[in-house]
Amino acid sequence: MKAGGVMDYWEGQAPAAGTAQEVLPGIFWIRMPLPIRGLETINLWLLRDGDGWTLIDTGLGTGEIHRLWQQIFATVLAGAPIKRVICTHFHPDHTGQAGWIVERFGAAFHMSAGEWSFGRMLWLDSQPEVPAYVLGFLRRQGWDEAALAHQESRGYNMLARSIRQYPHSFTRLADGQRMNIGGRYWRVMVGRGHSPEHCCLYDEVDNILISGDQILPAISPHIGVYPSEPDADPLGDYLSSLKDFARLPDDCLVLPAHGHVFRGLGRRIRALQAHHRERVDAICAFFARPAPAVACFPALFARPITDENRMLATAEALAHINRALREGRLQRRPEGDVTMYEAA
């Protein structure tokens, strides 16, 4: 273990694209490219499962990753089939190749009901034009006409572009359920806040957590409020969900979906909790004077907010604002088309 700030990083190398690295007997790490700044790659886990394999998460639905999978199928699988695909949650870097892989091998597809149905709904709901209710939502957060026009030019809900085929059916995963994968028993742990019903897998015997995006070593997972549920409290969901993971042993080996394998779960959870508490405090301090959501970006983000990241920034700011509203630390009122927030 290499010291990595508050965590200890696993000393092994991350695998090169198109190859696999065995982290523990029967658990192989696969890494796929991801064209998102700050993430760059996604980790997928291939588990030996009797006379075949179980795959956890699948990569974005791009042609490049499709080709890398063919290469892995021809080499790493050693002639054995993928019998089961599990997706931790519906985001396209996790589900992008799922439908195709499931079909190619006739594999079973496992996911929580909340993730499967939300992702399937959004995939079917993909549309090139930005719906009026979305524009109204963004206008309420203080987007100006130039920002709205740019959003209209690039469309909304790109899920159909980044997921080749969303699986049409699934086998349900639920919190507390145990799965035998190649003689290892994994307990499903449902996390919330980053996505509706995110499944992590915990092996009690060897003390291993496949954490998906729920707990990442170097960044906080994206936590955002979107137009389909404007009053959601995903940060509250995330913070209460972290308490469940804080009960696991601190020295468990964490296999995250982004970044390097590490130990130091408890320390990482405490850092994530402190990070979000600080940001809620920063927001409350910022709204000493009434302003719309977009005004607080400089108080919340070090990076400049552009046409490319304004949607994500708005969603993240609202996650912290909605938490502060629930805690009674902020209040809001409409002013024309815009919602104004102010410290309570």
**Choice between 115 and 213, CB closer to Zn ion:** 213
Q: Cβ of residue 131: shortest distance to Zn ion, in angstroms?
A: 23
**Choice between 203 and 213, CB closer to Zn ion:** 213
Q: Cβ of residue 312: shortest distance to Zn ion, in angstroms?
A: 12
Token output for 202: 């915990």
Q: How many CB atoms lie within 10 A of CB 197?
A: 20
Token output for 98: 């799922």
**Choice between 211 and 339, CB closer to Zn ion:** 211
Contacts 24+ apart (CB under 8 A), 153-158: 154/307, 155/127, 155/128, 155/129, 155/130, 156/127, 156/129, 156/130, 156/131, 157/122, 157/125, 157/126, 157/127, 158/92, 158/126
Q: Cβ of residue 287: shortest distance to Zn ion, in angstroms?
A: 28
**Choice between 31 and 91, CB closer to Zn ion:** 91
Region binding Zn ion by CB under 5 A among candidate stretches 110-118, 206-214, 227-235, 278-286: 206-214
Task: Report 213-242 residues binding Zn ion (CB under 5 A).
Answer: 213
**Choice between 40 and 152, CB closer to Zn ion:** 40
**Choice between 112 and 339, CB closer to Zn ion:** 112
Q: Cβ of residue 204: shortest distance to Zn ion, in angstroms?
A: 25
Region binding Zn ion by CB under 5 A among candidate stretches 60-68, 83-91, 269-277, 297-305: 83-91
Query: Which residue is closest to Zn ion by CB?
Result: 91
Contact status, residue 192 vs residue 235, Cβ threshold 8 Å: no
State the pairing for strand pair 108-112/171-173: parallel
Taking CB under 5 A as the criterion, the residue among 31, 91, 263, 310 binding Zn ion is 91
3 state DSSP class of 209: strand
**x/- map, 121-160, Zn ion, by CB under 5 A:** ----------------------------------------
**Choice between 91 and 139, CB closer to Zn ion:** 91
Region binding Zn ion by CB under 5 A among candidate stretches 122-130, 205-213, 230-238, 323-331: 205-213
| 268 counts as binding Zn ion under rule CB under 5 A | no
State the pairing for strand pair 208-212/253-256: parallel
Q: At what angle do helices 265-286 and 310-326 cross, to 10 degrees?
A: 90
Strand ranges of the sheet holding 171-173, from the earlier edge strand across to the other edge:
20-24, 27-33, 41-49, 52-56, 82-86, 108-112, 171-173
**Choice between 195 and 314, CB closer to Zn ion:** 195
Cα-based distances in Å from 85 to 20, 95, 104, 141, 287:
17, 10, 11, 39, 46
Number of residues that bind Zn ion (CB under 5 A): 2
Q: Cβ of residue 195: shortest distance to Zn ion, in angstroms?
A: 6
Q: Cβ of residue 212: shortest distance to Zn ion, in angstroms?
A: 7
Beta bridge partners of 30: 20, 44
Q: Cβ of residue 200: shortest distance to Zn ion, in angstroms?
A: 12
Give which of 198, 201, 197, 204 is closest to 188, Cα–Cα.
201
User: Which positions lie near Zn ion, rule CB under 5 A?
Assistant: 91, 213
